[in-house]
Amino acid sequence: MQGYKTHVQSGILLNANEASQNVNETVKQEIIDAISNLSLNRYPDTTCHQLHRLYAEVMNVPSSWILSGNGSDQMLGFLIQYYLQENKILYTLSPDFSMYDYYVGLNHSNIEKYETNLDGSFDVDAFISNGKDKNVDMVLFSNPNNPTGHSITLWEMKKISEAFKDIPVIFDEAYMEFGKESAVCLLKEYPNVFVCRTLSKAYGLAGIRCGFMISSQVEKLSALFIPYALSSVTQTIASVVLRHADEYKDTIATIISERERMYQEVKEFKQLTMYPSNANFLFGRSEKKDLLLAMFKEKNITIRNYEDASFRITIGTKEENEMVLDVLRRFEYANS
């Protein structure tokens, strides 16, 4: 079993795919007012009734299909614990979110990884065939993928859901607000499908740890979920922000626009390779990564570093993004 490494918390933080800006002052004041009225001596509403109702409106699903927990990774851990007993096999991608490995190890299960191309793409038919050959017990991967930012299409999601309709298929959609096609529309047709979401990324609430599982199977599973998983404070803050969900559309659109602007500028660079993304980050590789990291460190910019030649840069504010582009331009020029 391997532990999960948390992120560096110093410098200009573009390493953890957090939102670069806090909630605005109007929302912050609503949060303060709402929290001041809480009965902190009482346990929280374990049904999260109000929170689920609000999120159901955002996602256009029945509130009975929603279960919430301490970050979407708690929902993923719960599903792995529920469906994968000893020696059962989780089927995922490589690379993907390392917390899958953590929860598989915690439950003494096994993990089978399908190697993707450098840009995160993969042959869905070959993925299905390999999973069938290995007789896997659960399919789980992030879409858009973390760390590559690659997404599969709705048609491909449906193909996977149909091929593995006798086992749970989980789409980890932590970054889908920045993507295109969600698996949520498959939930009615495929009871084996689960979608996990979070408020940490697009809604800028990484600090409160609030995530969701969406599935027609929630009513069956919810009785076994840990009680009081979300504090009254977390439920209250999340509910206030979700009442402003429409206002976040412009913020999300700006992040997508900035992502595309940055990618268009660097996609022809010779000293590094950046890949198209459907998330709030860009993923890249360079054989001279150590030099690149040193140049970022000189400017007090923290990005995500991986063990191989790859790295990941969160899309920040326009000012932060311009600082990143300046480093990338100088790196390209210095090594050309």
Asked whether 147 and 163 are in contact (CB, 8 A), the reply is no
Type of residue at 206: A
Q: Where are the alpha helices (DSSP H) in 72-225?
A: 72-83, 99-106, 124-133, 154-163, 218-221
Q: Is the pLDDT of residue 295 over 90?
A: yes
Which residue, chain included where needed, has tokens 């000012």? 319
Domains 12-21+248-334 and 25-245 share a fold: no
Q: Where are the domains of the chain?
A: 12-21+248-334, 25-245
What would the pLDDT profile of 118-166 be if each residue is shown by its tens digit?
A: 999 999 999 999 999 999 999 999 999 999 999 999 999 999 999 999 9
What is the per-residue pLDDT across 58-88, written as a single tens digit (0 to 9) for each?
999 999 999 999 999 999 999 999 999 888 9
Per-residue model confidence (pLDDT) at position 5: 57
Residue 8 has pLDDT above 60, yes or no: no
Model pLDDT for residues 173-225, shown as the tens digit of each residue: 999 999 999 999 999 999 999 999 999 999 999 999 999 999 999 999 999 99
CA distance 140 to 170: 5
Q: Give the separation between CA 136 and CA 130, rounded to whole angstroms.
A: 9
Say which DSSP state 301 is in: E
What is the architecture of the domain spanning 12-21+248-334? Alpha-Beta Complex (3.90)
Arithmetic mean of pLDDT over the chain: 96
Query: 3-state DSSP call for residue 214?
Result: strand
Q: What pLDDT score was predicted for residue 4?
A: 54
Write the class of the CATH domain 25-245. alpha beta
pTM for the structure as a whole: 0.95
pLDDT of the residue at 336: 76
